[in-house]
Structure 1
Amino acid sequence: MSANSADRLQQLDVALVKAGRTKIRYTGELLADDGTRVTVRAPWAGSGVRDFGFVRFEPGDVFTEYYWRDRWYAVKEVRSATGTLKGWYCDITRPAVRSGQELLVEDLDLDLWRSADGTDVRRLDEDEFAESGIAETDPAAAAAALAALDELETLARDGDFRTLLA
Structure 2
Amino acid sequence: MSANSAEQARLLNVVLVKAGRTKISYEAELLDDDGTRIAVRAPWAGDGVRDFGFVRFEEGDVFTEYYWRNRWYAVKEVRDAEGGLKGWYCDITRPATLSGSGSELIVEDLDLDLWRSADGTDVRRLDEDEFEDSGLPEADPQAAAAAVAALDELETLAREGGFDALLA
1:75 deviates by 0.1
Once the two structures are TM-superposed, the CA of residue 139 in structure 1 deviates from its matched residue by 0.5
Amino acid at match of 2:148: L
Within 2, Cα distance between the matches of 1:142 and 1:148?
Answer: 10
Please give the alpha-carbon distance, in whole angstroms, between the structure 2 residues aligned to 1:70 and 1:108.
15
Distance 2:147 2:79 in 1: 26
Matched residue, 1:121: 123
Match of 1:44 in 2: 44
Spell out the pairing of 1:99-138 with structure 2 (5 A cutoff): 99=99, 100-138=102-140
Provide Cα deviations, 1:77-96, integer angstroms capped at 9, x if missing partner.
00000000000000000000
How much identity, in percent, do the aligned residues show? 80
> For residue 73 of structure 1, what is the amino acid of its counterpart?
Y
Q: How many residues align?
A: 166
Partner residue, 1:17? 17
Q: Secondary structure at the match of 2:45?
A: coil
C-alpha RMSD of the superposition: 0.4
Other structure's SS at 1:7 match: helix
Show CA shifts across 1:92-141 (max 9, x none): 00000012111000000000000000000000000000000101110000
Counterpart of 1:29?
29
1:57 aligns with 2:72: no
1:67 alignment counterpart: 67
Question: Would you say 1:79 and 2:93 are equivalent positions?
Answer: no
Taking structure 1 as the reference length, what is the TM-score of the superposition? 0.99
Q: Match for 1:140 among 136, 139, 142?
A: 142
With the length of structure 2 as denominator, give the TM-score of the two structures: 0.98
* Cα shift readout 1:6-56 (whole Å, capped 9, x = no counterpart): 010010100000000000000000000000000000000001100000000
